[in-house]
Amino acid sequence: MSKEIATPNRTKEILKKYGFSFKKSLGQNFLIDTNVLRNIVGCADLHENSGAIEIGPGIGALTEQLAKRCERVVAFEIDQRLLPILNETLAPYPHVTVIHSDVLEADIHSVIKENFKENQDLMVVANLPYYVTTPILMKLLEEKLPIRGIVVMIQKEVAERIAAKPGTKDYGSLSIAAQYYAEASTEIIVPKTVFVPQPNVDSAVLRLTLRTEPAVKVKDEEFFFKLVKASFAQRRKTLMNNLTHNLFSKTEKEAIEAVLTECNIDPTRRGETLSMEEFGLLANSLLEIK
């Protein structure tokens, strides 16, 4: 049995063999701690019949742990220089497929159809580059993929913002955007010391369990998200102020006030104090004066 990929020595060995240098523009930070990787996989609750989709496998450290746990693994890798490395490191795992593609441009529905069984238990598990965390997560959530959930290692601050509850400093439009589609929780805090090269901040493992229905029923999804965004445009301003400056005109102030009263929402409250349900109610009620 070959040595596991994610040890400091084996990682160094592989990088040296291929003369690989890290590209800052791709946000490459490789994990060199097998225990952390096993814990990430553990958060995904995979079994032998599960399938896993990975984004940015690097040299295959997490991929290897996923391959040991489940039936099928498909990984998207944007960096062509890593393909020959993955070819070698993942050779013992014939049930792993690496696709050379930017996941943001990929047709994930087609990839799932081609690589996994119908109704197979599917999870996205990845160590995401910091600079594209939000666009990737939103794509995965908005495209309504046939997956059970997402377990990703991302920047600690971003994980906290996504999982934040109303009334906290981290709660914002990103929390609502993610929690509209999924239940969110921060599972593990990962120190920056277990990566090479070492990033400047700590990471966290975020678990998103997809909802069968969105968290609230809204008549117009696009308007709901516009309203949420406008409500957080300037955090220190009241809801009323944000709405009249960022979504409606000042001439509609009275109409907005009437709707807020009807919804039992004080116009002097700040966006961060409103629950998802209140935003849903408000979006549906304000549609008439949009």
pLDDT over threshold 60, residue 1: no
Which of 46-50, 98-102, 112-116, 244-248 is predicted least confidently? 244-248
User: Which stretches does DSSP call E strand in 30-180?
Assistant: 30-31, 51-55, 72-77, 96-100, 122-127, 149-155
pLDDT in tens, 159-181: 999 999 999 999 999 999 999 99
Is the separation of the CB atoms in 265 and 256 below 8 Å?
no
Q: Is 19 annotated as a binding residue?
A: no
CA 14 vs. chain centroid, Å, equals 29
pLDDT in tens, 186-243: 999 999 999 998 988 999 999 999 999 999 999 999 999 999 999 999 988 999 999 9
pLDDT band at 2 (very low <50, low <70, confident <90, very high): low
Q: Is 107 annotated as a binding residue?
A: no
Residues of the chain with CATH 1.10.8.100: 221-289
CATH (residue range 221-289): 1.10.8.100
Q: State the pLDDT at residue 127.
A: 95
What's the rounded mean pLDDT across residues 256-266? 94
pTM: 0.94
Closest C-alpha to 44, from 215, 209, 284, 274:
209
Q: What percent of the chain has pLDDT over 90?
A: 88
pLDDT band at 249 (very low <50, low <70, confident <90, very high): confident
Q: Is 31 annotated as a binding residue?
A: yes
**Mean pLDDT rounded to a whole number for the chain:** 94
Residues of the chain with CATH 3.40.50.150: 8-210
pLDDT in tens, 11-66: 999 999 999 988 877 778 899 999 999 999 999 999 999 999 999 999 999 999 99
Q: State the pLDDT at residue 230.
A: 95
What homologous superfamily does CATH list for 8-210?
Vaccinia Virus protein VP39 (3.40.50.150)
Is the separation of the CB atoms in 77 and 107 below 8 Å?
no
How many Å is the Cα radius of gyration of the chain?
22
Q: Is 271 annotated as a binding residue?
A: no
Q: Is 115 annotated as a binding residue?
A: no
What's the rounded mean pLDDT across residues 89-105? 97
User: Which stretches does DSSP call E strand in the chain?
Assistant: 30-31, 51-55, 72-77, 96-100, 122-127, 149-155, 182-190, 195-196, 203-210
Q: How far apart are the first and last CA of the chain?
A: 64
Q: Is 121 annotated as a binding residue?
A: no
Closest C-alpha to 276, from 187, 203, 175, 194:
175
pLDDT in tens, 122-162: 999 999 988 899 999 999 999 999 999 999 999 999 999 99
DSSP conformation letters of 224-282: HHHHHHHHTSSTTS-HHHHHHHHTS-GGGHHHHHHHHHHTT--TTS-GGG--HHHHHHH
